[in-house]
Amino acid sequence: METIGADLRVMQRIPLAAAHVEALRAAGARATYPAGAFLARPGDPADRFTYVEAGEIEVVNPYTDARHLESTIGPTQFMGEIAFLDGGVWSMGMRAVSETRVIEVPRAAMLTLMGQIPEMSDIVITVLAARRRRQLDAGDSALRLIGEDEDRNVRRIAEFASRNRIPYTSLALSSPEAAQTAQSCSIAPLEPAVVFGRNVVVHDPTPEKVARLLGLNRDLRNDESFDVLIVGGGPAGVAAGVYAGAEGLRALVIEDVAIGGQAGTSSRIENYMGFPTGISGGDLVWRGEVQAMKFGTRFAMPRRVKTLESLADGGFCATFDNGDRVRGGAVIVATGVQYRRLPIDRLAEFEGVGVYYAATEMEARFCKGTQAVVVGGGNSAGQAAMYLSRAAQCVHVMVRGPSLAASMSSYLSSRLEADSAIDIRYGAEVTALHGDAHLEAVTVRDIGGGEARTIDTRALFIMAGAAPNTDWLSGLVELDPKGFVRTGPDVGADSPYATSRPGVFAVGDVRSGSVKRVASAVGEGSVVVSNVWAFLNVGG
């Protein structure tokens, strides 16, 4: 805690300039809080920016009301969480230690100021991002998950929160902390639960319920209109969100699982320019998400687009799986691909309890001291194997083809082949799963000779057979025989990202003929915005 507090104090020393404070005074109003008064409680809307002129504010433990951090916020510093940027809610309580005088600026006015004064925006975002990183590292939040290892629904919430950079605390079912939390929330002990502070218990928890609780999508109205709808929150979609916002377009990024897409499940990307020591896919795209929010781009998540319709006025209407709708003058399809479900008996039964489609820190802990099996021969599979080898006794990589040369970057395949903790099996496939409540073993067959063997494992990672997410387009645009969106000259369009339907563009892995790399996805998402701008202002 001392190290965390010290890190936070360092970030808090970044001051706003005198001109910035004068701008806050002009846009906001002064308020005074007596000692002991709460300025924010968990679940309250993050609807104002609070700059401290005099006094002291402390972070409060949402379960005990005691001071949570050694460090406090004093004069020249400001309250705030990253949720402020997208209209979310406070995850921790904030209380005045002594009589405290502040300047409060409404969120909309503050976002306008940040757009007008980039130097102030940089300081605010740097501090808010640092606070979120500290929260993630320490697990500081009113959101607590009890029994993640024992309950599949709680584990789904953990996956949703982890992949979306939402801080939470995970408590083992039989731990003293779980018992104390259960008592504090007046719930039955030794039972899995999702709670948010002492007063909110999420019954039958789902990502959608937790998203509502955290204020995600709070401001999204049914039938709301945007300049551009960006469907898919992977590297291509988030890059498009950054550039659309920077160009002044009202943009909405829609993602059904987690911002980051398939790239967000990569534990380490080493061939992305500017990161010589590598960066996780989740961290890379999260930085882009914050950057997009800085420019005013909004995010809707978890939301799945069920259908897309072309309207008489030339615009489009996207209908979500919950029945809500949004409208857009143009649409960018950035839904990427998803790994195919292998045709193996009992696969669905073990998904989430032994069968995984991502290899992050959350899944890696199930491999500690055991064997892991990875199916696939592409970069994602290679990155997963390298990452899992740090925890697992041995990682078995099952490749259907005779080599990795055609599907994996050379630097990565060389590392796999040189790692004694990684066993690569060419011409092999998984044919059966074994276990009761959790995966316990898999059967692996040699495709050429037919020989089979059993590998004891609690974790099977499927990262092969990527299929495009295009079912929701419902014949609106032309697809190639494999279901990827056809663009450019193939459909008579001038832009390489334009589809057969004017106003609909496709970028990233979902586009037919695209290079399946994070860098190219980011590039396409960035460049396509100029095409969208031209359509809206000339051809729309």
Q: What is the pLDDT of residues 64-85, one digit of tens each?
A: 999 999 989 999 999 999 999 9
Identify the burial level of 402 via C-beta atoms within 10 angstroms of its C-beta, where 0-12 means exposed, 13-18 middle and 19 or more buried.
Answer: exposed
Length of the chain: 540
pLDDT tens digits along 246-297 = 999 999 999 998 898 888 888 788 888 999 988 888 899 999 999 999 999 9
Cβ neighbours of residue 110 closer than 8 Å, sequence gap 6 or more? 27, 28, 48, 49, 84
pLDDT tens digits along 170-197 = 999 999 999 999 999 999 999 999 999 9
Question: Which residue spans of the chain are classified as CATH 2.60.120.10?
Answer: 2-137
- By DSSP bridging, strand 452-456 and strand 439-446 are antiparallel
Cα(224)–Cα(235) distance, rounded to whole angstroms? 25
Cβ neighbours of residue 97 closer than 8 Å, sequence gap 6 or more? 35, 55, 56, 57, 58, 72
Question: Which residue spans of the chain are classified as CATH 3.40.30?
Answer: 143-213
Q: Check residue 277 and give its pLDDT.
A: 87
Q: Check residue 278 and give its pLDDT.
A: 86
Backbone angles phi, psi at 345, to 5 degrees: -60, 140
pLDDT tens digits along 43-56 = 999 999 999 999 99
DSSP alpha helix (H) spans, 356-409:
361-364, 379-388
CATH 3.50.50.60 matches 224-338+467-539: yes
For the residues 92-119, what does the mean pLDDT come to? 96
Cα(227)–Cα(334) distance, rounded to whole angstroms? 16
Q: Check residue 4 and give its pLDDT.
A: 37
Q: Check residue 214 and give its pLDDT.
A: 93
pLDDT above 60: residue 11: no
pLDDT tens digits along 463-477 = 988 899 999 997 899
Three-state SS letters, 337-364: EEECCCCCCCHHHHECCCEECCCCHHHH
Q: Check residue 73 and give its pLDDT.
A: 95
pLDDT above 70: residue 240: yes
Cβ neighbours of residue 424 closer than 8 Å, sequence gap 6 or more? 397, 399, 404, 416, 417
CB-based contact 333:505 (threshold 8 Å): yes
For the residues 455-466, what does the mean pLDDT come to? 92
When computed from its CA atoms, the radius of gyration of the chain, rounded to whole angstroms, is: 24
Q: How far is CA 184 from CA 43, 180, 412, in A?
A: 17, 6, 49
Model confidence pTM above 0.85 = yes
Q: Which CATH number, 3.40.50.150, 2.40.37.10, 3.50.50.60, 3.30.1330.60, labels domain 347-464? A: 3.50.50.60
CB-based contact 232:468 (threshold 8 Å): no
Q: Virtual CA dihedral for 321, 322, 324, 330, nearest 10 degrees?
A: -20
pLDDT above 80: residue 318: yes
pLDDT band per the 50, 70, 90 thresholds, residue 245: very high
* CA angle (118, 215, 24) in 5-degree steps: 30
Higher pLDDT, 9 or 151: 151
Percent of the chain scoring above 90 in pLDDT: 79
CATH 3.40.30 matches 143-213: yes
For the residues 133-139, what does the mean pLDDT come to? 92
For the residues 6-27, what does the mean pLDDT come to? 78
pLDDT band per the 50, 70, 90 thresholds, residue 455: very high
CB-based contact 75:53 (threshold 8 Å): yes
pLDDT above 60: residue 5: no
Question: Which residue spans of the chain are classified as CATH 3.50.50.60?
Answer: 224-338+467-539, 347-464
* CA angle (372, 271, 256) in 5-degree steps: 65
Fold observed for domain 2-137: Jelly Rolls (2.60.120)
For the residues 106-131, what does the mean pLDDT come to? 94
CB-based contact 293:241 (threshold 8 Å): no
